[in-house]
Amino acid sequence: MAGFLGTPLANQLVKEGNEVIGLDDFSAGNAEGLDPAVRLVRGNITDRELLWKLLQGVDCVYHLAAKVIVPDSILYPSEYEKVNVGGTVTLLEAMRDVGIRHMIFSSSGTIYGFQKEQPLKEETTKPKPASPYAVSKLASEYYINTIGRLWGLEAVCLRIFNAYGPRQGFSFTHAPVIPTFLKQSAARGTVIVHGDGHNTRDFVYVDDVVTALILASKIRNPQELVINIGSGIETSVQEVLDLAIKITGSKPEIVYNQRRLGGPDRMCADLTLARKLLNYEPKVSLEEGMRLTYALDRRLHKQTG
């Protein structure tokens, strides 16, 4: 709850008058930026006894806690299985024991993997996860839907595509393209593009994701629902780079690193179901979202002095 997506979600829920309890082990998140009204508890999603205590009196669970670094998951798949899948199942058991029926789960567009046919559709595109991270998200969906059916749980799994915005975690090993390009461009040094720039992704601004998560909690009696959340627009890595250069007003040197494996070559979400079931409509264009990200995230600016 104290991560990149959890923080603005918790803040928005508080703003709408809800009482919010957050759980995070602070392995990636921190309390910075979180509304003080959020009761944040340090702990692990696999700790059933802690979950029992925290879940007393709760109406709806937003399940976002996870390890999220794809290359890391290739090196340490058992950790991803333990936290992402094991954590989901432990949470489901604790919810059953305490009597909570509503869950919104942040799944991922990565479960689709390499697909020729775009856009990717929940009902007809057969998932082909290409990393242990993606497998852990798909396995969690299956547990939520199967257990949900058996125990009468009402859950919605949102397959979130490439979310971006201020405070997104990034480092040498975890380098989401938008903050990385903005920071490298702003530094007026070298921008490294993995691949030839033609790979595409569906980039969605954090505020649109938060809106979708909250809309999902309002569906009545959901039954095994899985819904894509993205912008519905396929954008190449080169287009993102061009925008980063335009926004930062820089002229960086660009190096194309053809050797590194870069995941699926194309990804674009079909939003038909999201529009129909959630009345979801992405509001923030990529240029607007990247401008907001750059304006609001001081870590991306050139360090002086």
Ligand X SMILES: NC(=O)c1ccc[n+]([C@@H]2O[C@H](COP(=O)([O-])OP(=O)(O)OC[C@H]3O[C@@H](n4cnc5c(N)ncnc54)[C@H](O)[C@@H]3O)[C@@H](O)[C@H]2O)c1
Instruction: List residues with catalytic annotation.
Output: 133
Contact 128, 114 (CB under 8 A): yes
Number of residues interacting with ligand X: please give it, by CB under 6 A.
28
Q: Segment contacting ligand X (CB under 6 A): 27-35, 54-62, 118-126, 210-218?
A: 27-35
Identified binder of ligand X from the candidate list 61, 66, 240, 267, rule CB under 6 A: 66
Residue 106 binding ligand X, by CB under 6 A: yes
- For residue 180, state whether it binds ligand X (rule: CB under 6 A): no
Binding residue for ligand X, selected from 4, 62, 80, 170, defined by CB under 6 A: 4
Q: Near ligand X by CB under 6 A, which window of 44-52, 93-101, 118-126, 184-192?
A: 44-52
Q: How far is the CB of 152 from ligand X (least distance, A)?
A: 24
> Quick check: 25 binds ligand X (CB under 6 A)?
yes
Give, as ranges, the residues between 158 and 177 that touch ligand X (CB under 6 A): 160, 162-163, 169
* 89 near ligand X, rule: CB under 6 A: no
Q: How far is the CB of 150 from ligand X (least distance, A)?
A: 23
Please select the residue that binds ligand X; options are 38, 65, 147, 244, rule is CB under 6 A: 65
Residue 173 token pair = 């090993």
Sign of the dihedral through C-alpha 288, 269, 232, 262? positive
> Among 21, 28, 74, 214, which residue sits at the site for ligand X (rule: CB under 6 A)?
28
C-alpha atoms less than 13 angstroms from C-alpha of 213 in its C-beta half-sphere: 29
Which residue is associated with the tokens 């990529």?
286
- 44: contact with ligand X by CB under 6 A: yes
Copy the structure tokens of residue 302.
């050139």
Q: What amino acid occupies position 90?
A: T
Helices within the chain (DSSP H only): 6-15, 48-55, 70-75, 77-80, 87-98, 132-151, 177-186, 206-216, 237-248, 272-273, 286-296
- The tokens of 100 are what? 């909570």
Q: Please report the DSSP string for 47-87 in residue order.
A: -HHHHHHHHTT-SEEEE------HHHHHH-HHHHIIIIIIH
Give the separation between CA 189 and CA 186, rounded to whole angstroms.
8
264 near ligand X, rule: CB under 6 A: no
The single residue among 10, 34, 68, 191 that binds ligand X, judged by CB under 6 A, is 68
Q: Which residues bind ligand X (CB under 6 A)?
A: 2-6, 23-29, 44-46, 64-68, 83, 87, 106, 108, 160, 162-163, 169
